[in-house]
Structure 1
Amino acid sequence: MDMYQVHNNSAHMDYERDFMDPKKMSCNDERVDSGVDSMAEGDYERIHREFQSLSMNSRPVEYSSEPWKEQRTEDGDTFLHLAIIHEAKDYAISMINMSYNDPFLNTQNHQKQTPLHLAVITEQPHLLTRLLEAGCDPQVVDDHGNTALHIACKKGSLSCFSVLTQVHTQHLASILATPNYSGHNCLHLASIYGFLSLVESLIKLGADVNAQEHCNGRTALHLAVDLQNLELVRLLISKGANVNSLTYGGYTPYHLTYGRPNGEIRQQLHALTAQELRELPESDEEESDEESLSDDSEMYDDIVMGHK
C-alpha cells in the first residue's frame, strides 16, 4: 500500500478518531447536572420548614400518601431529590424510611433523574444502599439513557459502583448490556474515561468485552486505541478482547493506530491481528470519487470555451 493510499484511507477514518478528547466521545453531547441551583433563594427557608415537619422515624414503614410527596420544584425535583442534592442526609433517610416500596422513590425530575441518579452524582453511597433496599429501581434511565451505574462508570466512583453492583443485583446483567442514548454501555464509558479498575471489575461481573458501541461499532479495544491508552489495551487483550473485531466501517483496532504516535500499541496489535486484516480497507468514498470524475469527464467532453 503506497503512502497516498494510507493517507487517503486515514482521512476517511476521521470519524473514527474523535476519541482523543473524552468530551467528543459520544454521538450526542452528554451533561450530568444535579440541579443544585434549581431553587430561588427564598425557597430555602420554606423547604427547611417542610423538612422540619417530617417525622424523623428511623424505622422503615410501609409507604403512605403524604402531601410532601406530591410537591415539585420548577425543575421537577421532589423533597427527596432536594435532600440528596443538598446532602441533608437525615432528612433523606427519613423520607426513604417512609417510602419503602413506594413508586415515589422512582420519581424523575425534568432531566429524568431519580434519587438514585442524584445519590451517585453527589457521591453518597450510604444513601444508594438505603434507596436500593427501599425499592428504588436501578434500571431507570435519565434523559441521556444513563442508569445510575452508567453514571458511576463515567465518574469513576468506586464506592458507588461497589454498592450498585452488590446490592440487589438481579438486574445487573441487563444493566451491563444496556447502551445509553449515545450507544455506550458501562464498559465503554469506563474505557473512555480510563478507569482501569472499573473496566476489570465490569468484565469480572460479566460485561461483554467485545460489545460494540452503537455509533460506529467500536469495541472497548478500539476505544483504547483511540485514546492511546497502552495499559488499557494490554488489560483488554488479557481479558479476551478480539483484536480482529471490525467497526461498521470495517476497521480493526490495528487500523486505528495509523497516524497515531504510540508505537508500542501499533507493534502489539500488528503481531496479534490476522494477516489478512492488517491492510486498510479500500475506501468506498475514494471509488465513488473516481466514478464521479469519470462521469464528469464524459459530461463535459464537448464543452466550448473561447470558441474552441
Structure 2
Amino acid sequence: MPGGLEEGERSQEERVRVEHKADKEDQLVEVTRRQLDALFHYSVTGDSAYLLALQRPLMAAQDEDGDTGLHLAVLHNQQDALMSLTQVVSALPGEEVLNMRNHLYQTPLHLAVITQQKEAVEALLLAGADPTLTDRHGNTVLHLAAQQEGGSMVGFLLRRRELRELLQCCNSAGMCAIHLAVLANQLSSLRELLDGGADVEAQERSCGRAALHLATEMDNVSLAGCLLLEGNAMVDCCTFNGSTPLHVAVGRGSIKLTALLMAAGADPQRENFEPLFFREEMEEEDEEVSCNEEDEGYIPGTTPLSMATNPQVLELLKGKEYEPTSPHHIFIPPQGDLASLDMEVKQAVCSAVESEGCWENLAHSLGLGILNMAFRVSPSPTKTLLDSYEVSGGTVMDLLAALRSVGGCKALSILEEALCCTQEPSGEPPHTQAVELKVDVRIDSGVCDSGVELSTA
C-alpha cells in the first residue's frame, strides 16, 4: 500500500505540471496573438498606439531620475510619442500614470510648462492631467508659467476657465502667481494674470505684502505703474504691520517710486504699527505733557514722512513735484581744425608717412599708440590713424609737432609747405606759431589721450 500511495502522489504532481505547462503555452499563444493583432492594426492605420497598448503594464516604470515615458517624451520634445502615450495611458483603469511625479516631484505637465511646449500641455490636459498638483516648492503650473518671459504660457493656461482657480493658490513660500511674476520682473506675465482675474491685493503669507509692495521693494517703476494703472491696485494697501508701499519706498530712499506713489495718491501721514520711539523715550523727551491729556493706550506708529532721510524724498512727501533728470548726457566730441586741412595735402602726408614706415611712432606721438594693432590690419594704416585723430579732435598744430618729434621726414616738409601757402591775413604763416609751442610729445609714453594705460612691452 505505501508504494501505491507514493505512485499516486507522483502521478498527481505530474498532472499538475502538465496542466501548468499547458496554461503557460496558452498564455504565450494569447500574447502572441495580441502582438500580431497590434502589428496588423499598426500596419493598416499607422497608429503607434496599437503597439504601445501592449506595453500598458510598463507605463508606470521609472528610470533612475524617476521619469516615466511621459516625462521623457516631454523632455525630449517628442510630440508624436507623447500623443500616442497619452492615448494609451488615459485608457488605463485605476492607474495615475499621467500624474506620476519624478524625484523632483514634477509631473509631465510641470515639465511641459517649464519647457513652454503648448502642444504638450494641451495633450496632457485633454488626457486628464491634474493641473492643481504642485512640485517640491509647492508651485502649480500657473506659478511656473508666471515666472517665464513673454507671458504667453500664462495666457494659454488661463484660457481654460477651470484653471483660473489657480490664481489664488499659494506655494510653499506663501506666494501666488502674481507675486512670482513681480519677483521675476515679468511684465507680460503680470498683464496676463491681471487680464485673467488675478487679485491684485492678494497678500503673501509671510508678512502680508501685496504685489505693489514687492514691486516697490524691487524699485521697479514699470511693474508698480502697471499694478496701479492697469490693475487698479490700492496705493495704501497694508502689510501685516500696517506698512504701505510708500513706507517701503521712503525707507529705501527710492525717489522714483516715492514720486509715483505720491502721484497715485499715497498718504505720507499714514501710520504703521511700528512706533518710531518707545513710550519711555517719548516721556523723557516730553515731560511737560500731562499724562491726563494723552491716551496712554495709544503709541503712534511710523509715517513715511517721519522716516524719510533722503532730502529729495522728503521734498516729494511735502508736495514738491517730481522733476526727472535725464541720466543720458549727449557726448560732444572735441572739435579740432584737422578737418580744414586740404584733402590732397592729407593724402600726400599719408603717402609720405607710409613710404617711410614711421606711422607707428606717429601714432604714439599722437597718443593713439594703443590702437596700433587695429591700424596694422587696416589697408592704409596712416589714413586710418589720421581719421581717428581727426575724430578725437586733433589739430593741425599738434600733428605738426608730432611729425617733428618723429624726426625729419618728407611728411613734415609737405605739411609745412601747405601751411605756408595758407597764410593768415596778418601775413604771418600759421606754422610759425608751432615753433613757439611747447612741444610735449610723449613717444610711447604708456598713456593715451583717454587716460588708458598702454602696454609698453
- TM-score, length-scaled by structure 2: 0.47
Matching of residues 212-223 of structure 1 within 5 Å: 212-223=203-214
2:168 equivalent among 144, 161, 177:
177
Q: Distance in 2 between matches of 1:154 and 1:64?
A: 40
1:26-45 to 2 correspondence within 5 Å? none
Mapped partners of 1:157, 1:99: distance in 2: 32
Which of 69, 72, 87 in structure 2 is aligned with 1:79? 69
Q: 1:112 to 1:201 in 2, by over 3 A?
A: same
Computing the radius of gyration over CA atoms, which structure comes out larger, 1 or 2? 2
Aligned amino acid, residue 118 of structure 2: P
2:90 is the alignment partner of 1:114: no
More helix by share: 2
Question: What's the CA shift for 1:59?
Answer: 7.2
**How far apart are the structure 2 equivalents of 1:92 and 1:289?**
70
Q: Secondary structure at the match of 2:147?
A: helix
Out of 111-120 and 82-91, give the one that drifted further: 82-91
In 2, the alpha carbon distance for the partners of 1:289 and 1:64 equals: 80
Residue aligning to 1:200: 191
Unaligned runs of 5+ in 2: 1-38, 282-457
> SS where residue 242 of structure 2 aligns?
coil
Q: 1:179 to 1:115 in 2, by over 3 A?
A: same
Of the three residues 223, 242, 254, the one matched with 1:250 is 242
Mapped partners of 1:260, 1:274: distance in 2: 17
- The 1:216–1:101 alpha-carbon spacing in structure 2 relative to 1, beyond 3 Å, is farther
CA gap of 1:200–1:101, structure 2 versus 1, over 3 A, is farther
Q: Which moved more, 1:68-77 or 1:177-186?
A: 68-77
Partner-residue secondary structure (3-state), 1:98:
helix
Does the Cα contact within 8 Å between 1:57 and 1:97 map onto a contact in 2?
no
Matches within 5 A, 1:1-308: 57=47, 66-100=56-90, 103-156=96-149, 158-166=151-159, 169-238=160-229, 239-271=231-263, 272-277=265-270, 279=271, 281-283=273-275, 287=278
Letter of the structure 1 residue corresponding to residue 206 of structure 2: C
Identity %: 37
Q: Distance in 2 between matches of 1:101 and 1:250?
A: 54
CA RMSD of aligned residues (A): 3.0
Give 1:82 deviation, angstroms. 1.5
Cα displacement string for residues 49-73 of structure 1 (whole angstroms, at most 9, x for unaligned residues): xxxx9x773679xx89812212112
Q: Distance in 2 between matches of 1:162 and 1:125?
A: 11
Query: Given that residues 139 and 171 in structure 1 are in contact (C-alpha distance below 8 angstroms), is that contact kept between their aligned partners in structure 2?
Result: no
Mapped partners of 1:104, 1:71: distance in 2: 9
- C-alpha separation between the residues in 2 aligned to 1:66 and 1:59? 10
Alpha-carbon contact 1:187-1:207 (below 8 Å) kept: yes
The alignment partner of 2:226 has SS state of helix
Contact 1:101 1:135 in 2 (8 A): no
Q: CA deviation at 1:250?
A: 1.8
For 1:99, what is the secondary structure of its paired residue? helix
Residue ranges of structure 1 left out of the alignment (5+ in a row): 1-52, 291-308
**TM-score (structure 1 length as normaliser):** 0.68
Residues 214-243 of structure 1: per-residue CA shift (max 9 Å, x gap): 111110000110111111111111121011
Going from structure 1 to structure 2, the CA distance change for 1:89 and 1:158 (only over 3 Å counts) comes to same
Question: Greater relative contact order (Cα 8 A, min sep 6): structure 1 or 2?
Answer: 1
Contact conserved, 1:212 with 1:218, CA < 8 A, in 2? yes
Q: Are the equivalent residues in 1 in contact too, given 2:74–2:111 (CA < 8 A)? A: yes
How far does residue 283 in structure 1 lie from its aligned partner after superposition? Answer: 3.8
Give the length in aligned residue pairs: 234
